[in-house]
Structure 1
Amino acid sequence: MTGYGQNERPGGSDRLADEFFLMAHDESTGKPRLAERIAGLGLAGALLGELVVEARIELRQGTVTVLDSSPCDDALAGRVLEFLKQEEHPTRTWLAFFAQSAHDEVGWRLTSAGLLVREGRKRPWQHGRWVPVSPSVAARPTALLCTQLIRGQDLDQRSAVLLGLLRATGLDQPVLWEVRHTAPEAMRRVGEALSTLEASFAELVMQTEAAVGSAIASHRV
């Protein structure tokens, strides 16, 4: 497998990986909240999750099966699906592969949507940073999810799988701090929501968590 369009800038939309990306960065400065490798795996999981949401793929027993290979409206989702169509690999292999470029791919998608700007490197050894155009807009996915939990609102599968990816990567610690502080009893609903995930979503969360655990154990973070 080779890179999947790192130089393209796909159109942005309100998608699972977009929300995970915004949650994984400070809403004002764009400073990462996760190690690069872990964030990449979370974003890779979210990109696969977008295709599960659209009933394009199915995840089961460590494998990915394409259910619908028709063209996607979103360019990035289309590229991910094209790779899944062409080759067969275990889910963990796909996660590791997409994790290599997911950060930049999703960053460009959000830039095209007008939500981020790319800040250049201040020093040669530093990476550039994706900075939100509007802190309030960048904070919206976190605010909405926390509000749902605090108010005891029902969570759909999409929100539940987002929670699963947050927990799998450890991003739930900074993202859900307000819930823990103001309504700690609401944290029980996170476990309840995860227990009701459909099979493909539950498999996605499990495989992402396993990939993160492997990366941490091998010190590849």
Structure 2
Amino acid sequence: MHVASPPQLPLADDLFLAAHDTPRGRSVLSPATLGLGLASGLLAELILWRRVDLCDGRLAVLDERATTDAATTAVLDQLVRETQHRRIREWISFLATGVATDLVARRLGRAGLVHRHERRGLRGTRVTYVPADPAAAGWPGSRVRTAIARGELLDIPDLVLAGLVLATGLDQHLLVTYDAGEREHLFDQLRRRMPAMLQELVGHAEAAVGDAVMARRA
């Protein structure tokens, strides 16, 4: 019997699930790195929605109309209000302070894909997001791994997802089994097939993650 694959989610949701592919809902990324990845994912979604453009490190609003979901609409509304701020790195850093993680987690919660759990301790309340279905949580990573292993072409959202997986260091968990040929196949697609503005966005995400790592070590 053929079992249908789960529907493809917004790419920030896919990144969230890929980072939480554990039964207890613990992210394999630090909160700061996860936030930077999700912030970049939401901005990438707005580019794919053709609501914003990115050129030379600056965002431009192309269309102020709401999208069909609350998370990207919330980011777009803030972009429209904050007209004096247009530098992409500022927005990645701002959204990474907890805004992006909360927006994406709430979106996944509304879809019934994660359950929010709070645990009180001496250091305050710890919040985790446990996947409702571990198999569904593992699907985004499996989808990308399988496509590359088979030599298939990724669609644009999955190319951006793969780029953010590399930018955040999540590849050390998801793509650890790749051989040199499979990695080159992925890198070739990222170079040749991902639109320039999305390549730029992923580059800024990688730089932001690098800066955050250096700041923690200082």
- The one-letter code sitting in structure 1 at the alignment partner of 2:184 is R
Quote the residue 1:120 is aligned against.
118
Output the CA distance in 2 between the equivalents of 1:184 and 1:122. Answer: 45
Quote the residue 1:94 is aligned against.
91
SS at 1:121's partner residue?
strand
Quote the residue 1:189 is aligned against.
185
Specify whether residues 219 and 102 from structure 1 end up closer, same or farther in structure 2 by C-alpha distance, changes over 3 A only.
same
- The one-letter code sitting in structure 1 at the alignment partner of 2:28 is R
Quote the residue 1:103 is aligned against.
101
Output the CA distance in 2 between the equivalents of 1:46 and 1:134. Answer: 22
Give the Å deviation of 1:124.
3.8
Output the CA distance in 2 between the equivalents of 1:124 and 1:89. Answer: 40
Give the Å deviation of 1:122.
5.0
Quote the residue 1:84 is aligned against.
79
Output the CA distance in 1 between the equivalents of 2:141 and 2:216. Answer: 29
Quote the residue 1:130 is aligned against.
129
The answer to whether the Cα contact below 8 Å between 2:45 and 2:72 also exists between their aligned partners in 1 is: yes
Specify whether residues 163 and 104 from structure 1 end up closer, same or farther in structure 2 by C-alpha distance, changes over 3 A only.
same
Output the CA distance in 1 between the equivalents of 2:100 and 2:26. Answer: 17
> How many equivalent residue pairs?
206
Give the Å deviation of 1:184.
4.5
Question: Cα RMSD over matched residues?
Answer: 1.7
1:81-131 deviations in whole A, cap 9, x for unaligned? Answer: 111112233100000111112112211110110001011215242512100
Q: Percent identity?
A: 38
Specify whether residues 220 and 133 from structure 1 end up closer, same or farther in structure 2 by C-alpha distance, changes over 3 A only.
farther
1:17-45 deviations in whole A, cap 9, x for unaligned? Answer: 10000011133221111111011000000
TM-score of the two chains, using structure 2 as the length reference: 0.89
> Greater shift after overlay, 40-49 or 147-156?
147-156
Output the CA distance in 1 between the equivalents of 2:89 and 2:187. Answer: 23
Output the CA distance in 1 between the equivalents of 2:48 and 2:160. Answer: 10
The answer to whether the Cα contact below 8 Å between 1:37 and 1:220 also exists between their aligned partners in 2 is: no
User: Quick one: which of 22, 35, 40 aligns to 1:40?
Assistant: 35
Quote the residue 2:60 is aligned against.
65
The answer to whether the Cα contact below 8 Å between 1:111 and 1:117 also exists between their aligned partners in 2 is: yes
Output the CA distance in 1 between the equivalents of 2:152 and 2:22. Answer: 24
**1:128-167 alignment runs, 5 A limit:** 128-167=127-166
Output the CA distance in 2 between the equivalents of 1:193 and 1:28. Answer: 32
- The one-letter code sitting in structure 2 at the alignment partner of 1:175 is L
Output the CA distance in 1 between the equivalents of 2:200 and 2:126. Answer: 33
The answer to whether the Cα contact below 8 Å between 2:20 and 2:131 also exists between their aligned partners in 1 is: no
The answer to whether the Cα contact below 8 Å between 1:120 and 1:129 also exists between their aligned partners in 2 is: yes
Output the CA distance in 2 between the equivalents of 1:138 and 1:203. Answer: 28
Give the Å deviation of 1:185.
1.9
Q: Which runs of 5+ in 2 are unaligned?
A: 1-7
Q: Which runs of 4+ in 1 moved over 6 A?
A: none
Output the CA distance in 2 between the equivalents of 1:186 and 1:80. Answer: 35
Output the CA distance in 2 between the equivalents of 1:157 and 1:108. Answer: 24
Output the CA distance in 2 between the equivalents of 1:122 and 1:132. Answer: 20
